[in-house]
Structure 1
Amino acid sequence: MSDSWPRRRLLAILRGASEPLDAQELARVTGQHVTTVRFHLDVLTRESLVRQFQQPPRGRGRPRIGYTAVQRSVGYQELAQVLADQLGSDPRRRSDAAVAAGRAWGAKMESVDQPVESLDDAKDLTVTLASELGFAPEREHDTETDEQVMIRLTACPLRELARTHSEVVCGVHLGLMREVLDRNGGRDQVSVRLHPFVEPELCVARLEWLEARAPEAVADVDDTGGEPRLAPSTSRVAPQLRTGEPQLRNADPYLGKQSTNQR
């Protein structure tokens, strides 16, 4: 079928149709002879790409044969499991590999021209990116400070995969956010963390402006991986979600501890 433009066109039309179409309707749309359309439909039916339905006749006569495209079910859950297995058995290594993949994805995206010169800029850029990805983000105005903000991600497009493979799915999204922020001037200025499933249908992105850190928050080295990290300040308490919202107790330990300047 792949080498037949007429059949590809018929299949595309059927996939976009809200109801079954018969050969005569398809002939009018494509400009082909109805006999030619029926030939191509027979091939598509044998290849299990379309399905036939009996429809009532228009006026008197025999019932019509309608056609609709077969909706393929893609095994995304199985694919995620295979990918996770290929990334090794160590969740931390899988997370690091996923973050690197997300950065590579971000590097290939069309540049977003939103310079990051402040925490508000970083927040606006992250909300724009999350909206484009389908996360339906919401700002957490009640928890915003001069040092950090939280963005509620209410509609992860890969929610079901993330429930079982958060270190992979969320790692890719985290790496993408970091790369886009870095490319727009946020490198060494803003840290982004993801907290998956603080509620069953809610994840949270936490942005922190690094220039606002206390003086004692100096760089050290993580002896597990040799990557530079920022030691947490002991004099500052991180703001929590607003009253009545869940705390970030379910934060993925592999997604919530790295700053954007890591690669």
Structure 2
Amino acid sequence: MSDSWPRRRLLAILRGASEPLDAQELARVTGQHVTTVRFHLDVLTRESLVRQFQQPPRGRGRPRIGYTAVQRSVGYQELAQVLADQLGSDPRRRSDAAIAAGRAWGAKLESVDQPIETLEDAKDLTVTLMSELGFAPERDHASETEESALIRMTACPLRELARTHSEVVCGVHLGLMREVLDRNGGRENMNVRLHPFVEPELCVARLEILAARTGEALREEEQPTQTGEPRLAPSTSRIAPQLRTTTEPQLRSATEPQLRGATDPQLRNADADFGKQSTNQR
């Protein structure tokens, strides 16, 4: 938009209006001639700053043309990059910070009265939570066992951000799920892990019963890896071996045809190592 005070004023009026306004209404508000207002509106329309709408005529005559300001979307991709950079240069530490932020988010949510006593309870609560957040979760009944279950996240609202900032975006979602499960009684007997992009448009949450884990095993999982980096999504003795490690070729293979369908074996290449995955994707 050129440096035009009349057009800036018209745009400000339209942004503050609760409904479309026509040229005559804008002329009355601004004190400009209606022909001048129409000229400025045509310029704003060409620059995609306002949008035209047909409105019912007042009495006889042609329909009126109403105008409304185009709402610019926030640059979430850029915002995520800025936030990720502020969390430090280490992807693992960014993931830890994101998980902590997700837990803080979960702690602020209105308490959900769904006590967790069984795996079925945990599945119901997770599906309810992620449905409310727009993830369109689906249960994967074919992969369920007495000790674990998969929930397919088919519509992540932040999917595009997660492709380049998975350690941040997915870390927040993982922390949120863990906190909500813990608050409803699952702290001692339930864990959730998140497997981002087992398919190009699909992430999977895995719920696991932890009743058989010992204090010694828990303490071991909390130790740093051999590289000195903290674990992001600890594996348990109940996890199949193919879910314990992730390499760059394995992450790439998540888009291969043999992974279509998202049954349990298809997760073999999609462990929740958000830090490594994000680094590879960049």
TM-based fold match above 0.5: yes
Residue deviations 1:30-52 (CA, integer Å, cap 9, x gap): xxx9934988xx7xx79999626
Q: Which letter maps to 1:222?
A: Q
Q: State the alpha-carbon separation in 2 of the partners of residues 248 and 151 from structure 1.
A: 15
Shift of 1:248: 3.7
Matched, 1:35 2:28: yes
Equivalence for 1:113: 113
Q: Which letter maps to 1:185?
A: G
Q: State the alpha-carbon separation in 2 of the partners of residues 167 and 54 from structure 1.
A: 43
Q: State the alpha-carbon separation in 2 of the partners of residues 38 and 149 from structure 1.
A: 66
Q: SS of the counterpart of 1:68?
A: strand
Residue deviations 1:4-26 (CA, integer Å, cap 9, x gap): xxx68953334xxxxxx5368xx
RMSD, matched Cα: 4.0
Q: State the alpha-carbon separation in 2 of the partners of residues 190 and 254 from structure 1.
A: 21
Matched, 1:247 2:258: no
Q: Which letter maps to 2:50?
A: R
Shift of 1:103: 0.6
Equivalence for 1:196: 196
Is the 1:139–1:151 Cα contact (8 Å) retained in structure 2? yes
Number of equivalenced pairs = 232
Q: SS of the counterpart of 1:130?
A: helix
Is the 1:84–1:168 Cα contact (8 Å) retained in structure 2? yes
Question: Which protein has the bigger helix share?
Answer: 2
Distance 1:184 1:38, change over 3 A: farther
Equivalence for 1:11: 17
Residue deviations 1:140-199 (CA, integer Å, cap 9, x gap): 101111110000000000000000000000000001111111111111211100000000
Shift of 1:70: 1.1
Residue deviations 1:208-244 (CA, integer Å, cap 9, x gap): 01014599956424144789x97742x874798537x
Q: SS of the counterpart of 1:193?
A: strand
Q: SS of the counterpart of 1:131?
A: helix
Q: State the alpha-carbon separation in 2 of the partners of residues 99 and 141 from structure 1.
A: 27
Once the two structures are superposed, the pairs formed by residues 71-150 of structure 1 within 5 Å of their partners are 71-150=71-150
Is the 1:171–1:255 Cα contact (8 Å) retained in structure 2? no
Q: SS of the counterpart of 2:208?
A: strand
Distance 1:106 1:255, change over 3 A: farther
Distance 1:65 1:196, change over 3 A: same
Q: Which letter maps to 1:141?
A: H
Q: SS of the counterpart of 1:246?
A: helix
Equivalence for 2:172: 172
Distance 1:130 1:238, change over 3 A: farther
Unaligned 5+ runs, structure 1: 1-6, 15-20, 28-32, 257-263
Once the two structures are superposed, the pairs formed by residues 154-165 of structure 1 within 5 Å of their partners are 154-165=154-165
Q: State the alpha-carbon separation in 2 of the partners of residues 107 and 123 from structure 1.
A: 19
Q: State the alpha-carbon separation in 2 of the partners of residues 54 and 9 from structure 1.
A: 15
Is the 1:195–1:255 Cα contact (8 Å) retained in structure 2? no
Distance 1:50 1:185, change over 3 A: same
Equivalence for 1:17: none
Shift of 1:252: 3.1
Shift of 1:207: 0.5
Q: State the alpha-carbon separation in 2 of the partners of residues 248 and 38 from structure 1.
A: 68
Equivalence for 1:51: 50
Shift of 1:253: 1.5
